[in-house]
Amino acid sequence: MNHSLFSFVALDLARQRSIEGERAWHAARLTANVPARTSRLRYLLARLLASVSLGSAAVARRLDSCVADDLGRTLAPAK
């Protein structure tokens, strides 16, 4: 066998892998700056859930204060 043929094949494989690596690196760089669509969706859903939670907490506090007033009146000693 000709040793220069093996050297040529090895250099060609190294060149192909180098090109594939550069393409993968460029693809990763292009997608690294753009947030994923699922993360935006999760963020919006989290904001929606937080607003519903805060709203329900406000309603619960308001109902608790009304019930506490009614409870205080019903437990007051009769005259």
SS (H, E, C) the chain: CCHHHHHHHHHHHHHHHHHHHHHHHHHHHHHHCCCCHHHHHHHHHHHHHHHHHHHHHHHHHHHHHHHHHHHHHHCCCCC
Same domain, 29 and 60: no
Same domain, 42 and 78: yes
Please give the model's pTM, rounded to 2 decimal places: 0.42
Same domain, 79 and 47: yes
pLDDT in tens, the chain (79 residues): 677 888 889 999 999 999 999 999 998 888 777 666 778 888 999 999 999 999 999 988 888 877 766 655 666 565 5
Same domain, 61 and 42: yes
Same domain, 2 and 26: yes
